Amino acid sequence: MIPDWKLERYLTGDLPDSEMREIREMEATDEIFAGRIKMMREDNRAILKKMPFERLSERLDAMPARSGNGLKGAGSNGAGNGVSFTLVKFATAAALVLAVVTVALFSQREIAVPAQSGAQVMDVAMADAVLAGDEGDTRIKGLEARIEVWKKTADSAVQMSNLDEAREGDEIQLRYLVPEKCFGMLFSMDGNGTVTMHMADDNKAIALEPGKMTTLPFAYKLDNAPKFETFYLFTSTNGFSINIDDIDALFKNKDVRQEHVTLRKVGGK
Amino acid sequence: MKGKNQADQIVLEGLYGKYAPMVYRRCFSMLKDDAEAQDMVQEVFLRIYERMDSLDLSQPSSLLWNTATRLCLNRIRDKHRHGVDVDSSELLLTIACADDEQESYEAKNILAKLFSREPESSRTIAMLHYVDGMTLEETAREVNLSVSGVRKRLRGLQAKLKNLEVK
């Protein structure tokens, strides 16, 4: 009999690999056990429906704003809200030029571009091919806009899930897909409140082409900011921009859709 | 709420979406009351949010499980002290009401200064081992202590439990 605490961690994927495999096998072969797991998964959905995050969010909003420590240089000055904005201006064209400079750092390419060399081809590129097929510019029905975060490994890359662990020095590659023509921007925010723009025209969203998974032509190396790094993809059918002094406005803009992936920062490299 | 607080909320939302059901079931199993368990889930996540700057978030399942355990033990103890009927097993009630020297150290912030990670109370350790059925090794991993450290803490609590029975 597997204790409750272990089952809970199986559901959240927080057990060591060997135990995950063991329990997964049991789920596949033991009908009664599989039924128990199924009920717990249904229970999860019911619980989140019964007590959505919005209820907690109301209490968070009612709390006095926290000052936040550990802010980086300019971010902790008298300006107040703790956000320093490292705006790395990467208009699409400029980013393509930059790609030439940074190609040694990380192998990347738009999905339609043939692979350069066998050793440099990443799993990312393979995934691109499967997703896009030969229909690079057609709308992919049923798909939502999404952002993917990949981490470079010694000879390949692995896709990171929300709340996966990452470390200082990890090389991150971002990819996105939009199901229809729209405007979008990509940026990240770290545990110090520092915002880094990865794809935009200055502070404006750029036009995005639909139907294919697009890999940004440069990698991003995580610094020593603590706790987390969250990557955002904001999209809208209309053009929009971000005000560096009021990022909240973007989060609250009902015309703008947001997708994000958060990596938890742990230890040093 | 701007910048960092906004970012922390986003992280909290991610944690909530993934772990709130687990926390709810933990709270419900200890408090045996839906409304109280729902309230406690909010308390747990608010506690995490308030301390996000100092907490080690590398093992969120352990952190949330143990925070829920500690807060539920406190709730049960407080209710018992106020003469409110508590629908708990004798073992759970005994653990909840045991004096915990560790917690008085924590209150004085002595250990919090010594360790970057918030130390777990001996009562939580007792819950993990005696009620949840974790082995000593699993308990030790869970609370970031050595096995001998866990044994020592449990022995200390056992002595106090005995005293409690004598009283």
**Looking at the complex, does the CB of residue B39 fall below 8 Å from at least one CB of chain A?**
no
Tens of pLDDT along A155-211?
Answer: 667 888 888 889 998 989 898 988 888 999 999 988 888 888 899 988 899 999 887
Closest CA to A262 of B63, B14, B58: B14
Search chain A and give the residue with CA nearest B138: A6
Contact B25 A4 (CB under 8 A): yes
Two structure tokens written together for B103:
């917690």
CA angle A161, A165, A168 (to 5 degrees): 125
**Looking at the complex, does the CB of residue B61 fall below 8 Å from at least one CB of chain A?**
yes
Please identify which residue in the block is written with the tokens 């440069």. Answer: A218
- For helices A4-12 and B60-81, the axis angle rounded to 10 degrees is 140
How far is the alpha carbon of A23 from chain B, nearest alpha carbon, in Å? 17
Closest CA to A167 of A106, A123, A225, A84: A225
CB contacts < 8 A, A to B, total 136
**Looking at the complex, does the CB of residue B85 fall below 8 Å from at least one CB of chain A?**
no
Search chain B and give the residue with CA nearest A54: B13
The confidence score (pLDDT) of residue B155 equals 82
Contacting residues of A for B57, CB less than 8 Å apart: 227-228, 264
Q: How many angstroms from the chain centroid is the CA of residue A26?
A: 32
**Looking at the complex, does the CB of residue B131 fall below 8 Å from at least one CB of chain A?**
no
In order along its 167 residues, chain B shows pLDDT tens digits of 445 677 778 788 888 999 999 999 999 999 989 999 999 999 999 999 888 877 777 788 999 999 999 899 988 888 878 777 777 777 777 777 776 655 554 444 444 433 334 456 788 888 898 888 899 999 998 888 889 988 888 887 766 565 544 33
Contact A189 B7 (CB under 8 A): yes
The confidence score (pLDDT) of residue A23 equals 94
Look at residue A238 and tell me whether its pLDDT is greater than 50.
Answer: yes
Residue type, B59: Q
Q: How far apart are CA B87 and CA B33, in angstroms?
A: 9
